[in-house]
Every structure is written in structure tokens, then in C-alpha cells.
Amino acid sequence: MTSSMLDLATVVRTIPDYPKPGVMFRDITTLLGDARAFRRTVDELVQPWAGAKIDKVAGIEARGFIVGGAVAHQLSAGFVPIRKKGKLPHQTVRMAYALEYGQDEMEMHVDAVSPGERVILVDDLIATGGTAEGAVKLLRQIGAQVVAACFIVDLPDLGGAEKLRAMGVPVRTLMAFAGH
């Protein structure tokens, strides 16, 4: 972890016992509210693909919209929102994904990505990887080439980043917190 990454980790607020006892919630709203930290975060996420041909950045609802939109802007790429079922107005494609206690579905517009387009998936945090795995499958279902997945925070003990790597998706994270 570089010193700039370490500095970013100090801007993330930790809320103990949220949303349930034993969970250490990593809250990036403090990072988003700090202009320098937010700018450095976006720069660090973009850096490996600066100058590369990236067609779209897909962001997972909701914090992935904030970070993904900024990354798309920096890469001069389009932005694709991936949302919970029933939130998009046009024809969609849908994918079920695993939650800690059950299942949910996510959607994106059927015409949001063309076959062969190079896409980077962005969200704020990777934990168990169920949501990100579902998003990768959804993007691939319509023919996207998922170039990488980027997250501000990794909770490595929960194995989500490794799950994506096992799917052949390179993963970039800026900081990791042990435990959950």
C-alpha cells in the first residue's frame, strides 16, 4: 500500500456494529466529502487505464454511481448504471445475485453496452463479491468485455476480490481493511 493509499484509508470512517453487531461498516461518505481525497481516489482508480481504450464504466447502485461517474468522466467513457430491479425505465436485462441472507436482482438497459465494448466495473467496496459477480455476469451476458473491476475498499477476509479474479476479472482496490 503506497503512502497516498494509506492517507486515503484515514479518511474513511469506521462505524462499529452497523448494520448489525460485530460488523465494522466502512463509510466512504467522509472520503467523498473531502475534495482532495475524492480527487485522489478517482485519479488512483483511473491511473492504470489512462490512455487505454475504455468504452464504458459501469457503476453499481448507489455509491458506484458517484465514483463510477467520476471515473467515466476522467476516461472519456460512457457511464452505465446498474440498478436494483424495477428502477430503470427502458427495456432491461436482469441478473440474480446472492446477498448475505438471500437473493436480489439487478438490471441495466439492454442497449447500455454493445457487444465487444470494453467496460470497467466500479463500486465503493468489495466484500463477499456477490453483487460484483452478478454485475460481471450481467455485463458479459450482453457481450461486454469486462476489462477490470475497481473498488475503493476491499474487505479481503470476505473473499470477494478473489472471487472476481477467479472469473478472470482483474481487480483494483485502493485500500483493504482486515475483518468486516
pLDDT tens digits, residue range 73-102? 999 999 999 999 999 999 999 998 877 667
Residue 2 has pLDDT above 90, yes or no: no
Task: Give residue limits of the domains in the chain.
Answer: 51-176
Nearest to 89 by CA among 66, 112, 117: 112
- Output the pLDDT for position 102: 74
**Is 105 one of the catalytic residues?**
no
Name which residue leads in pLDDT, 180 or 6.
Answer: 180
**Is 94 one of the catalytic residues?**
no
Task: Give tens-digit pLDDT for 96-149.
Answer: 887 766 788 999 999 999 999 999 999 999 999 999 999 999 999 999 999 999
Look up the pTM and report it: 0.93
The percentage of the chain sitting over the pLDDT mark of 70, rounded to a whole number, equals 95
CATH architecture entry for 51-176: 3-Layer(aba) Sandwich (3.40)
Q: How far apart are CA 41 and CA 110, in angstroms?
A: 30
Mean pLDDT to the nearest integer, 143-170: 97
The active-site residue, picked from 63, 83, 117, 133, is 63
Mean pLDDT to the nearest integer, 23-30: 94
Residue 3 has pLDDT above 50, yes or no: no
Residue 29 has pLDDT above 90, yes or no: yes
- Output the pLDDT for position 100: 67
Q: 26-49: b or e for each residue (b if 16 or more CB lie within 10 Å)?
A: bbbeebbeeeebbebbbebbbeeb
Residues 108/136, Cβ–Cβ less than 8 Å: no
Q: Show the cell assigned to 40.
A: 485522489
